[in-house]
């Protein structure tokens, strides 16, 4: 019985051992905003907080996979906007069923992600440049398709996709939980997940060991595109419109969540458990500062500082590891 209990508790102990620093930061932040923020621990605010975290988490899952490959994906926010516009236009303008609109939005995200992966893989252009260019393309395309204004809908069935709930739990939070479980399974229980870590850790060694590098890269950016597409559909359902301006700066939140959660820009490192904490920290910062009526512009400043500090700490950690070898 004790052996079985020890086996069950070992992953929990390992999780706290790996993430004790950011868990402590999370606890300090929650305590601070509970004391100084109005209504931080109310049920209404917690539900709103989780909705915000869910939106960031969709994008952060894809961004983390790209960073594990020692790459990046800056397309997320703009692609979400374009996917949302396409989704709503499919059933409002083309007259197709709502389900087709949802599929169209997600499918478009998959296609764009696949294009990103193919360009990165077969041209050798750095992912930063490729996805930055695609970000601009998607944002411009969203404005062109929508003629510069939101594409609205009054369909309640579609709205419930982003605003409905199962008891007290909002649908977007349920989607988030499902995607996190799938992400954990992919990275920890499949050969593909092991290959993603191997390619990110040392691409040359991975190639010599027989791993299909091209397939892994295209797959990762395709998943990232799919998550951005899904994010766009959920946002469109929440706002009852496909808005070409939505999602601006979302990729910054996703990157901040990933690096705060311990995902290394050097590649080959990153966990789903760490990502969850990073998403919560970014969500709590925005939510808590809003409750304290702090100017929203300061949030951009703070998130930028967080990314710089997190990357610097990652660099110092990498130097210590190299020195110890």
Give the chain's domains with CATH numbers.
Answer: 51-309 (1.10.3470)
Quote the Cα angle for 47-64-14, to 5°. 80
Half-sphere exposure of 138 (CA within 13 A, CB side): 36
The answer on pLDDT for 2 being more than 70 is: no
CB 232 within 8 A of CB 33: no
Alpha-carbon gap, residue 228 to 234, rounded angstroms? 10
Provide the pLDDT for residue 305: 86
Full 3-state SS string of 140-173: HHHHHHHCCCCEECCCHHHHHHHHCEECCEEHHH
Say which range, 4-8, 41-45, 250-254, 297-301, has the weakest mean pLDDT.
4-8
Q: State the angle between helix axes of 43-68 and 191-201 in degrees (0 to 180), rounded to the nearest 10.
A: 70
Alpha-carbon gap, residue 252 to 77, rounded angstroms? 9
What's this model's pTM, rounded to 2 decimal places?
A: 0.92
pLDDT, one tens digit per residue, over 142-186 is 999 999 999 999 899 999 999 999 988 999 999 999 999 999 999
Helix extents (H) in the chain: 2-36, 43-68, 76-92, 98-123, 127-146, 156-163, 171-189, 191-201, 203-208, 213-239, 250-260, 272-291, 296-324
Look-up: residue for tokens 């692609």?
A: 79
């Amino acid at each position: 019985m004790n052996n079985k209990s020890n086996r069950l508790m070992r992953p929990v102990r390992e999780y706290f051992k790996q993430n004790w620093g950011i868990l402590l930061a999370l606890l300090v932040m929650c305590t601070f905003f509970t004391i100084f923020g109005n209504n931080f621990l109310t049920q209404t605010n917690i539900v709103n907080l989780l909705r915000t975290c869910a939106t960031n988490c969709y994008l952060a899952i894809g961004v983390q996979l790209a960073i594990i490959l020692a790459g990046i994906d800056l397309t997320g926010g703009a692609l979400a906007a374009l996917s949302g516009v396409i989704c709503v236009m499919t059933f409002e303008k083309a007259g197709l069923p709502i389900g087709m609109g949802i599929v169209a939005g997600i499918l478009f995200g998959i296609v764009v992600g696949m294009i990103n992966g193919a360009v990165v893989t077969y041209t050798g252009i750095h992912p930063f440049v490729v996805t930055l260019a695609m970000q601009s393309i998607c944002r411009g395309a969203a404005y062109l398709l929508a003629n510069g204004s939101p594409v609205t809908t009054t369909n309640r069935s579609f709205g419930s996709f982003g605003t409905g709930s199962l008891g007290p739990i909002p649908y977007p939070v349920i989607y988030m939980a499902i995607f996190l479980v799938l992400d954990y399974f992919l990275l920890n229980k499949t050969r593909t997940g092991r290959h993603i870590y191997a390619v990110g850790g040392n691409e040359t060694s991975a190639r010599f060991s027989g791993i299909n590098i091209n397939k892994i890269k295209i797959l990762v950016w395709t998943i990232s595109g799919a998550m951005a597409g899904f994010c766009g559909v959920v946002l469109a359902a929440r706002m009852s419109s496909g808005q070409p301006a939505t999602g601006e700066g979302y990729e910054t939140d996703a990157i901040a969540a990933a690096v705060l959660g311990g995902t290394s820009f050097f590649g080959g490192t990153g966990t789903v458990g760490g990502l969850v904490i990073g998403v919560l920290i970014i969500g709590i910062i925005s939510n808590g500062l809003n409750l304290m009526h702090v100017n929203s512009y300061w949030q951009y400043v703070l998130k930028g500082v967080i990314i710089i500090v997190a990357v610097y700490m990652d660099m110092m950690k990498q130097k210590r590891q190299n020195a110890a070898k």
